[in-house]
């Protein structure tokens, strides 16, 4: 299909509620990443799904954050008991798995803008 | 662990001036990538450098990879307002195979 898609594009929620953000990677891409970007800031790595290997969860900021990738395709990022500091744009990216030690080009989705009131 | 440092954090230029952003790694990189994020948009891949001392050009953009493969630079000649955005470098990093580590980015503002 086209590129990486994410839904919803915007999400407004109340503090304490749970939210689910969805990412549809490019077909055939076995690597999937989630990043968080606060206004005017850089990319904060959250989690990396690398094919069939265990995901790299080293960037998840707290145990309120979790992510899964079903069937090696669609991924869902869940934030439980949202806090105001969770407000940010959540970006998903996908790529082919690298070969020979090289990383591959990441293709980013448009992001989900999360606002926690 | 792997860190990719990028400077400057911000750069304001007059249209027509040149711009350079630098990326430095604490360890040798097998390759380095550059991305551009327009205001309100998402990062878009620009280029990948692989060889020591490699130089690649895309119109007014010149990308360099250091001889030691620990640093890289992006130079824009005669900036235009369309160059506005955040430029990120990214290299392999961390303990996970294939994981990209992004620099903090340089936010470029071009005044007409």
pLDDT in tens, A52-109: 788 999 999 999 999 999 887 999 999 999 999 999 999 999 998 776 656 788 999 9
Report pLDDT for A23: 98
| CA atoms of A38 and A35, how far apart (whole Å) | 10
Q: How many residues does chain A have?
A: 117
Report pLDDT for A102: 67
Chain B residues inside the 8 Å CB shell of A48: 96, 99
β-pairing, A5-7 vs A44-50, is unpaired
Of the listed ranges A11-15, A104-108, B10-14, B70-74, the least confidently predicted one is: A104-108
Element (H, E) at A23: strand A19-24
Those residues with Cβ within 8 angstroms of residue B98's Cβ, 6 or more apart along the chain or in another chain: A31, A50, A95, A97, A98, A103, A104, B92
Please judge whether A103 and B96 are an interchain contact, meaning their C-beta atoms are less than 8 angstroms apart: no
Q: A111 CB near a chain B CB, below 8 Å?
A: yes
| CA atoms of A94 and A74, how far apart (whole Å) | 11
Please judge whether B101 and A102 are an interchain contact, meaning their C-beta atoms are less than 8 angstroms apart: no
* Cα angle for residues A8, A14, A20 (degrees, 5° grid): 35
- Do residues B101 and B94 make contact, with C-beta atoms less than 8 angstroms apart? yes
Report pLDDT for A111: 97
Q: Which of A50, A93, A111 sits opposite B97 (nearest CB)?
A: A50
The DSSP-derived string for A34-48 is: EEEE-TT---EEEEE
Return the higher-pLDDT residue of A71 and B64: B64
Burial state string for A46-82 with b = 16 or more CB within 10 A and e = fewer than 16 = bbbbbeeeebbeebbeeeebebebeeebebebebeeb
Report pLDDT for A1: 55
- Do residues A22 and A37 make contact, with C-beta atoms less than 8 angstroms apart? no
For A107, phi then psi, to 5°, come to -110, 120
Q: Which of B42, B48, B96 sits opposite A91 (nearest CB)?
A: B42
The CB density around residue B56, as the number of other CB atoms within 10 Å, is 16
In three-state secondary structure terms, A71 is helix
Chain A residues inside the 8 Å CB shell of B43: 43, 91, 93, 106, 108
Q: A45 CB near a chain B CB, below 8 Å?
A: yes
The residue to which tokens 């407004």 are assigned = A12
- How far apart, in Å, do the first and last CA atoms of chain A sit? 35
């Amino acid at each position: 299909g086209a590129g990486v898609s994410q839904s919803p594009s915007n999400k407004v929620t109340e503090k304490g509620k749970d939210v689910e953000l969805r990412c549809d990677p490019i077909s055939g891409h076995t690597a999937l990443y989630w990043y968080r970007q606060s206004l005017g800031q850089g990319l904060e790595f959250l989690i990396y799904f690398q094919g069939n290997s265990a995901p790299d969860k080293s960037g998840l900021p707290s145990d309120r954050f979790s992510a899964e990738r079903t069937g090696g395709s669609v991924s869902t990022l869940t934030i439980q008991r949202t806090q105001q500091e969770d407000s940010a744009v959540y970006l998903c990216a996908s790529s082919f798995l690298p070969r020979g030690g090289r990383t591959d080009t990441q293709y980013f989705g448009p992001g989900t803008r999360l606002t926690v009131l | 662990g792997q860190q990719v440092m990028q400077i400057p954090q911000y750069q304001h230029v007059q249209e027509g001036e040149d711009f350079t952003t630098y990326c430095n790694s604490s360890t040798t990189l097998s390759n380095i990538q550059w991305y551009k994020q327009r205001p309100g948009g998402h990062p878009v891949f620009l280029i990948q450098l692989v060889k020591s001392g490699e130089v690649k050009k895309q119109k007014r953009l010149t990308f360099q990879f250091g001889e030691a493969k620990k640093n890289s630079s992006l130079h824009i000649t005669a900036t235009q307002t369309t160059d506005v955005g955040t430029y990120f470098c990214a290299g392999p990093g961390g303990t996970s195979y294939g994981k990209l580590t992004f620099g903090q980015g340089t936010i470029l503002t071009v005044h007409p």
